[in-house]
Amino acid sequence: MSNNTKQIYVISVFPEIVENFIKYGVLKRSQDKDLLKINMINLRDFSKNKGQIDDKPYGGGAGMVLQAQPLIDATRFAKSNLENYKCIYLSPKGRKMNQQMVAEAANDEDLIIVAGRYEGVDQRFIDLEVDEEWSIGDYILSGGEVAACVIIDSIARMIPGVLGNDNSNVDDSFSNSTLEYPHYTRPEKVENISVPDVLLSGNHQEIRKWRENQALEETKIKRSDLLKKKLS
C-alpha cells in the first residue's frame, strides 16, 4: 500500500454486504490500482460477551440498541491503524450527504464509517468516538450498510486516478449545483427521435453551450432548489 492510498474502515454487523459491493466496477479498479483500501471490521469480533453486541434500551421501548463497548473498541482499533482520520456514524439524524461533503471527504483524512443497526446505538459511543453523523436521505433503512456502500462509491469517484478520465466527474450532477445534461449515443435515430443536430456538428463551443443550457433547463424542471442554493 502506497502513502497516497486512501483508507476506509467500515464497522458493521453484516460486513459481507459491503464486501460484496466493493468487488465490482469503479471500487474494484480503485483497489486494484492501490488508490483505495477498504478494511472491513465485524462488530461481533469486539464483543466481550460471547458475540452479544446489542441489548434492550433503558427506559423501555421497541427494538434493540447496539452496545457502546463493542463499538468503542472496534472504532479505537481502526483509529490505531490510521494517522489522520474522521469517524462518521451513519444515522437518519445525521447531516444529509451532498456532493460537497463527498469531495471534502475524498480529499481529507482517512475514514472510519460506522454502519448502525436495529433501533440505534448507545449515545455514549457517539459522544466518545464519532466526529460527524451523516444521512443519505430522509428515509429509514434496516441498517447502515447500504448507506456505507453509497458513500464509499461516491468518494471513490472523486479520488484522482480512479476514473478512466479525471474529467469524468466534473460535469456529474450536483458537481456544479446543476443536474447533468442529457446524453446520446448510437444509433442517431431511435423510434423517430433523433440526436440533437448540435451534437453531430463537431462544433465543440456550440456543444458546450448547448450542454450548459440543457443542464440549467433540467435543473429548473427537476430540482429548482439547487439553483436557489447556487444563487444564494
Distance CA(73)–CA(8), nearest Å, equals 17
Distance CA(35)–CA(157), nearest Å, equals 11
* 50-64 per-residue burial string, b: 16 or more CB within 10 A, e: under 16: eeebbeeeeeeeeee
From the candidates 172, 180, 217, 218, which is the catalytic residue? 172
Can 92 be counted among the known catalytic residues?
A: yes
From the candidates 45, 76, 92, 180, which is the catalytic residue? 92
Query: How far out from the chain centre does Cα 202 lie?
Result: 36
Report whether the peptide linkage leading into residue 187 is cis, meaning its omega lies within 30 degrees of zero: yes
Q: Given CA atoms 23, 39, 143, 109 in this order, what sign does their dihedral have?
A: negative
Burial class (CB in 10 A: 0-12, 13-18, 19+), 92: middle
Q: How many angstroms separate the most distant Cα atoms in the chain?
A: 69
State the Cα angle at 42 between 41 and 48, rounded to 5°.
Answer: 115
Can 15 be counted among the known catalytic residues?
A: no
From the candidates 19, 45, 109, 119, which is the catalytic residue? 119
Do 59 and 45 meet the contact criterion of CB atoms below 8 Å apart? Answer: no
Can 70 be counted among the known catalytic residues?
A: no
Can 157 be counted among the known catalytic residues?
A: yes
Helix (H), strand (E), coil (C) string for 176-193? CCCCCCCCCCCCCEECCE
Active site residues: 92, 119, 157, 172
